[in-house]
A and B are shown apart, each in its own frame.
Chain A
Amino acid sequence: MIAAVAVALACSAQAARAESDQAPRGKLGFRIGFGALPIDGHRVGTIGLGLGVEHQLTKTWRILGEYEWLWLSDEDATAMRDPNDSSGHRLHAGLRRTLAATTVRKVLRFYVDGELGGGIAAMSLPRTVGKEAAVLPHGFAGIRFGYGFLQKDNKGSRTWEPEFLLRAIGIPDGIGLSFGVGMAWD
């Protein structure tokens, strides 16, 4: 996954030329995400409520920052009808680049973006994991795809973008995944 994204980022110059002039600038948005992390041999499920900001660096590059509140559950224990849950907080920072985009009639933009970054999470852990809390640094790579409505002459937000995210998250114990759906406004 990470290698695929890295290769895609490196080779995306050609695709980026197709990006519309109406790419959004700074953005504010939210996301709900579902995923899992390998922690101490347990598969810990995550539900995240996230809030994110982005700032346009160049025509195709954006810097991003996100906060996620996490609901955690031990998936293995849940399968044994022994549910136990906990919560945590996670911060992400990274870069995002348009890999391919096309705009239809100047009002609807479809895109595929790649992202790379890192962050840190502080969480209490489900009882069955074996330790009460953890602070875990992480790196991530992901793909975002979605569409955006454009209103070039709006005084307020000029874009509204529903989007999907598939993100690989590497922590010291292994690699987890997260899938999210969200919206963003510029």
Chain B
Amino acid sequence: MRSVIIAAVVVAATAAPARAGDDVDIDGKWPFRGRTVGVYVGGHGSRSGGMSLGGIGPTVDLAVGDGAFQYFAELGLLAAQARIGDGEDARSIRGYEGRAGIGVRWLARSFVMERDGAIEMLLEAFTGLEQFWWKEGGRLTRPDLGGGWAWQVRMRRSKFMFRTSARVYFAPLDPDHAAPICRGSCMEAPATSRWSSGIMANMGVSW
């Protein structure tokens, strides 16, 4: 009996039931579905204090829709690279990056085409945690915070969304945390900020 209840709860939690308002427009926009899954490929890059950091790879997101808003949690596993220092003294190291984040999307604009599909603009805000593991040893952990825009083509019947996003993010670069991989070379470059800012982009599908 206990396993049946657990199974029922799991099914109820993972199914994507049609919400009562799914077919009701909000100011001419179709509301987001109750639950969606997205798979994307993308990457990011940033630079500060003589060190550039970046990664490229797949990201998965789980989202819950609420009218014109969508709340999401995302998880990415990326191939990472850091370039440390400038000029002839520069060196590159490689590794892996895991990134987990949460955020919210707002359906800012929606151009509905003959009721079959829509071309839409979204604004996003998010925060996350990045963990880098370097092949030559050492780790780097940093939080990030950012915002951006996305555009998507949404099919009404199939529920598929083809989405591309571009984001700007900010992340602190703590010299103490970066020291193990910098080996003294990062902060010797004139650091205009101990915050790195960078670009993050993703492209993929959601359903």
Contact = CB atoms under 8 A, between A and B. Distances in A.
Interface of A: 28-30, 32, 47, 49, 51, 69, 71, 82-87, 124-125, 127, 132-133, 149, 151, 154-160, 183, 185-186
Interface of B: 25, 27-29, 47, 52, 83, 86-88, 90, 108-113, 119, 121, 148-149, 151, 166, 168, 189-190, 192-193, 197-199
A140 B186 CA distance: 37
Contact of A86 (B27, B109, B112, B192): B192
Candidate in B88, B111, B148, B192 with the most chain A CB atoms within 10 angstroms: B111
B179 to A, nearest CB: 20
Candidate in A49, A82, A127, A157 with the most chain B CB atoms within 10 angstroms: A157
B151 A30 contact: yes
B149 A30 contact: yes
A151 B111 contact: yes
Nearest to A185: B109
Contact of A29 (B112, B113, B121): B121
Contacts of B86: 82-84, 127
B109 A156 contact: yes
B112 A132 contact: no
Nearest to A161: B111
Nearest to B119: A160
13 contacts: A69-B197, A84-B47, A84-B86, A85-B52, A86-B47, A86-B192, A127-B189, A149-B113, A155-B25, A156-B110, A158-B111, A160-B119, A185-B111
